[in-house]
Amino acid sequence: MTFRYLPMTEQDKKEMMEAIGISSTEELFKDIPEEVRLKRSLEIEEALPEPELVKYMSQLAAKNMNTKDYTSFLGAGVYDHYTPSIVNHVLLRSEFYTAYTPYQPEISQGELQAIFEFQTMICELTGMDVANSSMYDGGTALAEAALLSAAQTKRTKIIVSKSVHPESRSVLATYAYGQNFEVVEVDTENGVTDLEELKQVVDDSTACVIIQYPNFFGQIEPLKEIEQIVHQEKGMFVVSSNPLSLGVLTPPGKLGADIVVGDAQVFGIPQGFGGPHCGYFAVTKKLMRKVPGRLVGQTVDENGKRGFVLTLQAREQHIRRDKATSNICSNQALNALAASVVMTALGKQGVKEIAMQNVQKAHYAKKTLAEKGINVPFEGPFFNEFVVQFNRPIKEVNKKLLDHGIIGGYDLGKTYPELENHMLIAVTELRTKEEIDQLATVLEGL
């Protein structure tokens, strides 16, 4: 038997054709004109027996470079972080990984409670009043924040710093095009938003200003100063933030943010070739009824026992389409659960400790590279990423690093032409002193 699963028998096939009144499979396609039909076999390789197929696919997979065999200093939005072993033990319970959405609260209490805890912990990290039950990823969460701001202010000008993730800005541009919003990008100065240029473009037509914290270059933006510029013209202040960094940084909610969005990939979600992720979306209380997606609320049943229900569902599946604030029709509940398990397992002190390790190890790496004569162009505080400059293409540098078992940083020249030969290096808590020293030694040799 070379089949993984039991195939359809000839008798099965015959009975099905008799039931629908045909004598051959070809009759199923009789409505397709002869001239557009393919008259030959598909150009695909012959099927292999299962043992040979498994061996072949394993050989292909072995060609991939991974963070188990290689030391990774690549970040730029997807990071190599510690994931407690308990995460998969919870995620792989069938009641979680087979669940789609908790439409029936009476039999979905576990799922609903997990989402409720996710919302609660995101609020604690961001300093905001309300968080929804997750979104697709950080990029779509950011774009939805712009839409909410435009609807709330009745304005159409979206201002975004160029220090915001390039992919998030691309998603924003796509959303804005369909809504006829104007997107204005503000340049950077020394790795952070140029405040003088920001002051010039913010006016009474500004719906919101979008800032990343820490930004794409790893630098810490001066949120308090930016908040004053934004609110002076009664625009909304949107902050995209790495939630792990909030273990040590002042939460955006305490610095005047109206909406805080971001990606929870840093909490227990594998890098997985770039996805899937889990976006979060948190707001002040006055915006609670405008949040895209849905929220889980806590209540009591007729016997006074605590229970959980979906509430304030502003998505089009639950209310009239013309009343919906978003077309986000689902969420990333399983990934949100992973983030919840990690945050719960680590606790407040654990999240703070891991965030501190990111800060300390990244600063050690920056100092070590600078001592080796490598140019570090940006000054100022940063979290776990920083920019270095070389006198040759980053593609060449990364190829050399791979020869030494190291996955190098992100080539900034791909998305910032003015930063050609600049690399964005990420240093997480998983990197050891020996690995950082090896990186410095190899780069010094270049």
Residue 414 is part of a domain; what is its CATH number? 3.90.1150.10
Stretch 123-133: mean pLDDT: 96
Stretch 432-446: mean pLDDT: 95
Rounded to the nearest 10 degrees, the angle between the axes of helix 433-445 and helix 394-403 is 120
- What CATH number does residue 130 fall under? 3.40.640.10
Whether 124 is covered by a domain: the verdict is yes
At residue 1 the predicted structure's pLDDT band, cuts being 50, 70 and 90, is: very low
Q: Which helix (H) or strand (E) holds 424?
A: strand 422-426
Prediction pTM value: 0.88
pLDDT digits (tens, 9 = 90+) for 145-190: 999 999 999 999 999 999 999 999 999 999 999 899 999 999 999 9
Query: Considering 342, 358, 377, which residue would you say is the last residue of a domain?
Result: 342
Alpha-carbon distance 153 to 148, whole Å? Answer: 9
Whether 430 is covered by a domain: the verdict is yes
Whether 31 is covered by a domain: the verdict is no
Q: Same domain, yes or no, for 278 and 356?
A: no
Structure tokens at 239: 């902050």
Q: Same domain, yes or no, for 241 and 272?
A: yes
- CB neighbours of 406 closer than 8 A, spacing ≥ 6? 70, 71, 72, 73, 435, 438, 439, 442
Whether 372 is covered by a domain: the verdict is yes
pLDDT digits (tens, 9 = 90+) for 214-272: 999 999 999 999 999 999 999 999 999 999 999 999 999 999 999 999 999 999 999 98
Closest listed residue to residue 332, CA positions, set 50, 112, 137:
137
pLDDT at 275: 83
Stretch 320-348: mean pLDDT: 82
Query: Considering 315, 342, 369, which residue would you say is the last residue of a domain?
Result: 342
Q: Same domain, yes or no, for 93 and 168?
A: yes
Task: Report the domain count for the chain.
Answer: 2
Question: Which of 43-57, 340-354, 365-379 is predicted least confidently?
Answer: 43-57
Whether 105 is covered by a domain: the verdict is yes
349 to each of 85, 119, 186, 343, how far by Cα in Å? 18, 19, 36, 10
First to last CA, the chain: 56
Range of the domain at 151: 86-342
Query: Considering 342, 373, 394, which residue would you say is the last residue of a domain?
Result: 342
Q: Same domain, yes or no, for 361 and 414?
A: yes
Alpha-carbon distance 323 to 314, whole Å? Answer: 8
Taking 60 as the threshold, does the pLDDT of residue 281 lie above it? yes
Q: Same domain, yes or no, for 399 and 357?
A: yes
